[in-house]
Structure 1
Amino acid sequence: MSTPPQPSGTPTPDTPDKTVGPSEAAAPALTPGRESLHYAVRNPKLLIGLAIVLILLGTGVLGPLFLDSSDPNAYVGPQAAAPDGTYWLGTTTFGQDIYAQFVYGLRSTFLVGVIGGGIAAIVAMLVGFLAGYRGGIVDEILTMLTNIVLVIPSLAVLLIANAYLGVRSVGVQGLFIGLTSWPWAARAIRAQTFSLRSREFVDLARLSGSRTWRIIFREIAPNMSSYLFMTFILLFGGSILIASSLDFIGLGPTEGVSLGLMLQSAQQWSALQLGMWWWFVPPGIGITAVVGALYVANVGLDEVFNPKLRES
């Protein structure tokens, strides 16, 4: 004969009674924020990716303060000198300090990522939230606009725009990248918003007379904060890759320096053929490290916010 079901907490004949110690009984449950922080500080992917990004960011922000010249393109040393104690990353064929170009290039790389990723994230959130929450004709119009921008070859548009701009800067480059790289994020945010708009807390806010944007930013957006943050990281890294591609083909900023422009100069002046590895290896490693660390950190964040992916 099977054992009849017992009330919750009552031991069955097959299950020995378990005595709960005072420490276990008194242990408070973690709030969602504290729980995320608890797993974040124990996630190696997040910690390693964040550490690499912070080190490179600190190098780009603080590095120029320790340089003798404020012009990274100044001719300051012997031509084509290998790395030594004076010029840590050597010099170009024109006597330019590659370390100075590298630290200024890191600053430009992060700046274009922030501008391009930030603009793309803002546009994606506005379009995705409004389309997903309002639905109907508003959703159809915004979805059609998103699909149009999505099928347009963004790289070709950027090539044409940059080719005909008289003066190109990091800000203008980031603006164009942001205005062409938001559609996929808008579609994802729309889908998430569409699933949240029928929840009880949204219905209560709607019945209380709250306006559309108040409901979106006070009720829906906080429940998607982790997803929105990870989306921004992906847009940030994507903007850096697009900007580096434009720089490498000679359509980067006309003034200043970036890691992509360093690669373009090294290729243009045959650094590989001349054996000047110190000219093209540092910017290549810099771009790879920044973007790679961002994506590793994003994977770590996904494991932190998604209980199904946590290892412990």
Structure 2
Amino acid sequence: MSAIVAGTAAPTPTAGRRPRGGLWRAVLHNRKAMLGAVLLTLFCLLAAFPHLFVPWLERDPRAIGDMPLQHPSSEHWLGTTGLGQDVYAQLVYSTRESLIIAVVAGLGATILSVLIGVSAAYLGGVADNVLSMFTDVFLVLPTFPLIIVLATYAGKGNLTVIIIVLIVTGWSYGARQMRSQALSLRNRDFLESARVRGERRSYIIVVEVLPTMTSLIVANFLGAALYSVLTAAGLQFLGLGDPNSLSWGTMLYWAQNQGALVNGLPAWALSPGLAVALLGVSFALLNYAFDEISNPALRPVRRRRARSH
């Protein structure tokens, strides 16, 4: 009898229900997520307030200077370009466009992935077959050559065109993931209850299905943003972007055209490439972290310290 009373006096919490703020606490306790968040925060600060990191610059960083091809010094930390422009100032001011490309293109590709993938899984039948076939067509297309063709003929140098091209070519893999996840949820009890209540399909998808896929959606966005950063830098390096814009890919383009390595200025060529790599690392770390948070099987096993008795 005492065992029964003790069992009822201290009820266990409902299994599978995460306490409020559980996702945020999981991020705080994940080293990959924290490192990725710190790097991404730094890039956001550079993009939002570039003048704070180059307080001595009183002109447009694209303005032609009178000291071309200077080596790194106390006056020019990363040297100058062939037109006398400060490389460090251009690196800082280029963060904004590169980050805008990553966020806007990643967000657009994620929205398209969610719309097509979740709709295909929930609607089923002919709609599923048509949308899945549409997704498969984009999955098998050679992506980078298609991007080059579209960026060249749709509007060379136009930032909006580059973003649209990245969205069009970057949604299909995420849509396949969304469809698979939504199919696993399609016959769950809470969705059956919503159907019995007479809820509309749009309500069920937005209110019932999507909140259970939050971690996957976030991971999909981070992966799409990473793809957008690297692909946009590649396009701009090939000269398919606006050569007068301030972005890391354009810096690489001019460093190659003006012979940065030949003139003994490796900082001019390597610094924008390192910036692209670090921004990509921040997205990749956050992506891996959200994969671990959403899938306990991927979490590393941590050894527990022996407690002293």
Classify the TM-score, shorter chain: 0.7 to 0.9
Letter in 2 for 1:148: V
Paired residue total: 294
Aligned equivalent of 2:307 = none
Aligned equivalent of 1:75 = 64
Q: Identity across aligned pairs (percent)?
A: 31
Tell me the CA shift for residue 166 of structure 1. Answer: 4.6
Distance in 2 (CA, whole Å) between partners of 1:167 and 1:85 is 38
Is the contact made by 2:155 and 2:161 (CA closer than 8 Å) also made in structure 1? no
CA deviation map 1:174-207 (0-9, x unaligned): 1110111111110110011111010011111111
Aligned equivalent of 1:268 = 257
Letter in 2 for 1:46: A
Distance in 1 (CA, whole Å) between partners of 2:97 and 2:256 is 20
CA deviation map 1:218-257 (0-9, x unaligned): 0000000011101100000001111011111111124412
Is the contact made by 1:133 and 1:194 (CA closer than 8 Å) also made in structure 2? yes
Structure possessing the higher radius of gyration over alpha carbons: 1
Aligned equivalent of 1:123 = 112
Distance in 2 (CA, whole Å) between partners of 1:231 and 1:182 is 9
Letter in 2 for 1:83: P
Within the alignment, does 1:38 sit opposite 2:21 as a pair? Answer: no
Query: How does the TM-score come out when normalised to structure 2?
Result: 0.87
Aligned equivalent of 2:134 = 145
Distance in 1 (CA, whole Å) between partners of 2:242 and 2:83 is 20
Gap runs ≥5 in structure 2: 303-309
Distance in 2 (CA, whole Å) between partners of 1:129 and 1:86 is 54
Aligned equivalent of 2:42 = 55
1:114-263 pair list within 5 angstroms = 114-166=103-155, 168-263=157-252
Distance in 2 (CA, whole Å) between partners of 1:147 and 1:165 is 24
Letter in 1 for 2:213: M
RMSD of Structure 2 on Structure 1 (CA): 2.5
Tell me the CA shift for residue 101 of structure 1. Answer: 1.4
Is the contact made by 1:115 and 1:171 (CA closer than 8 Å) also made in structure 2? no
Tell me the CA shift for residue 56 of structure 1. Answer: 1.9
Gap runs ≥5 in structure 1: 1-6, 11-18
CA deviation map 1:108-143 (0-9, x unaligned): 111111121111111111000110001100000101
Tell me the CA shift for residue 77 of structure 1. Answer: 4.4
Query: How does the TM-score come out when normalised to structure 1?
Result: 0.86
Going from structure 1 to structure 2, the CA distance change for 1:51 and 1:200 (only over 3 Å counts) comes to same
Distance in 1 (CA, whole Å) between partners of 2:264 and 2:213 is 50
Is the contact made by 1:167 and 1:254 (CA closer than 8 Å) also made in structure 2? no
Tell me the CA shift for residue 84 of structure 1. Answer: 2.3
Going from structure 1 to structure 2, the CA distance change for 1:310 and 1:210 (only over 3 Å counts) comes to farther
